[in-house]
Amino acid sequence: MSSINKKEIEKFSKMADEWWDPNGKFKPLHKFNPTRIKYIKENIINNFNLKNKKKPLQKIKILDIGCGGGLLSEPMCRMGATVTGIDASATNIKIAKIHAKKSKLNIEYFSSPPEKLKIKKKFDVILNMEIVEHVEDINFFLESSSKLLKKNGLMFVATLNKTLKSYMFAIVGAEYVLKWLPIGTHEWEKFVNPSDLERILKKNKLSLLRIDGMKFNILNDEWSISKDISVNYITKFIKN
């Protein structure tokens, strides 16, 4: 079995040179990034009762799955975490490695889906951010991811809800009207209801701790955490 969707890998590999361009094809992700970084950081600190103010995530081992060019891996590393980033696209990993080297950051990067990752260690935290809607088999992907997580470890999953509103906002609005994303970036059929996500992860011994919406304010041109989970949402699970 494989969690790799070759069409999706090819699509993102073609855009790989633009990962670190804040005005390129990943511009929405750059706008999105500060909000999700803050959310992840605060939840890790609270969960593991961390006290180091200079390096708040020190001693935490993080696996960033579907890391792309390293937009999340790098800030996690700067906050003191030991970071491993994996992506099924070799092109993405090449870009991530080059950028980490330029930034003088020690991040381990591998071109691999979670089911083929040849690492014996398990992780305190797994990030599955904006990736589950791009995989071939979400059940197999999340099962494979869960196996890499320590007992009492956290898994963060951010994705798009499968609602009419998400179709109108994330596809019609973001791709066709506002041109924030290249047309074809998302397929509504692959969006995931929170109840389905919770059901799949429950089978893999993970319990939902919290779910929050992520909302874009056009007037402020920024993202924020919200109670509205009808389009973008982010979840925190713990492994029992």
* Segment 145-170, tens digit of pLDDT: 999 999 999 999 999 999 999 999 88
CATH classification of the domain holding 188: 3.40.50.150
Quote the CA–CA distance of 89 and 28 in Å, as a whole number.
Answer: 20
Does 226 reside within a domain?
Answer: yes
Domain count, the chain: 1
Give me the pLDDT at residue 173, please. Answer: 83
Give me the pLDDT at residue 185, please. Answer: 85
* Segment 170-226, tens digit of pLDDT: 898 888 887 878 888 889 999 999 999 999 999 999 999 999 999 988 888 899 999
Give me the pLDDT at residue 51, please. Answer: 96
Does 1 reside within a domain?
Answer: no
Contacts of 7 (CB under 8 A, 6+ apart): none
Does 10 reside within a domain?
Answer: yes
* Segment 39-81, tens digit of pLDDT: 999 999 999 999 999 999 999 999 999 999 999 999 999 999 9
Question: Residue 162 sits in which domain range?
Answer: 6-239
